[in-house]
Amino acid sequence: EVQLVESGGGLVQPGGSLRLSCAASRFTFSGYWMTWVRQAPGRGLEWVANIKKDGSEKYYADSVKGRFTISRDNAKNSLYLQMNSLRAEDTAVYYCVGALRTEGYWGQGTLVSVSS
């Protein structure tokens, strides 16, 4: 069974930075587009960013453009999200997702809280 495990979440002050990681196993990681999706407390799903199989294309939601950077290391079967200039509205559970629109492999999520 596919396993995606996020890590790196936690409490950070506004303006701070955090780097999320997602480790994939039992999954042909290099064969899939990967996506970060977040969900604020009590709210719906929000698409954050995605990255092509080989890392050559990256796309971002307007709400995070210029502040977040998605990357991947296919040799390590790992996905990353570097989050800078964090704001209170970035508080959410962040999910790592493989093949969002066709297979839907999701991690369990990691909570990011931005508060002073």
Partner 1 sequence: QSVLTQPPSVSAAPGQEVTISCSGSSSNIGNDFVSWYHQVPGAAPKLLIYDNNKRPSGIPDRFSGSKSGTSATLGITGLQTGDEANYYCVTWDSSLSSGVFGGGTKLTVL
Q: Which of 9, 16, 46, 71 binds partner 1 (CB under 8 A)?
A: 46
Q: Find out whether 36 and 49 touch, Cβ atoms under 8 Å.
A: yes
Residues that bind partner 1 (rule: CB under 8 A) add up to a total of 21
Task: Please choose, from the candidates 16, 36, 38, the residue with its C-alpha nearest in 3D space to the C-alpha of residue 83.
Answer: 16
Judged by CB under 8 A, does residue 8 bind partner 1? Answer: no
* Residue number with CB closer to partner 1 (100 or 114): 100
Q: With beta carbons less than 8 A apart as the criterion, state whether 20 and 8 touch.
A: yes
Provide the 8-state DSSP code for 29. Answer: G
Binding site for partner 1 (CB under 8 A): 35, 37, 44-47, 50, 59-62, 95, 100-104, 106-109
